Amino acid sequence: MARLESVTSLADLRHMGDRLHAQLGIVLTITPSANGVRTLRGINIQLEEQPGLCRKTKQAIPAAVRRAMESTPEIAYALLDEQDLLGGG
């Protein structure tokens, strides 16, 4: 969880998602809400259902990602720009 909280870019976050999938089979999906994003709560961070994944882990991973986005807002901006929600052109 500490590694997820310390990511510094969207590419680093995507890399950590790939590592979670490769090593543990956990599929992490991060998408902006269809209703718009005003705060970090408007970004959907979900784990795909998987047998054997405990409730605490299901809550801890999205919380760690959210804390990383709070400490480094550029990650959230890059995610929104990737979806062209910032209106960059």
Q: Is the Cβ–Cβ distance between 21 and 27 less than 8 Å? A: yes
Q: Is residue 87 part of a domain?
A: no
Q: Which domain holds residue 46?
A: 2-82
Beta-carbon contacts of 83 under 8 Å, excluding residues fewer than 6 positions away, are 31, 32
Tell me, yes or no, whether 89 lies in a domain. no
Count of structural domains, the chain: 1
Per-residue confidence (pLDDT) for residue 39, from 0 to 100: 63
pLDDT averaged per 10 residues in sequence order, the chain, 89 residues: 91 94 92 67 85 90 92 88 62
The pLDDT value recorded for residue 34 is 63
Domain assignment present for residue 88? The answer is: no
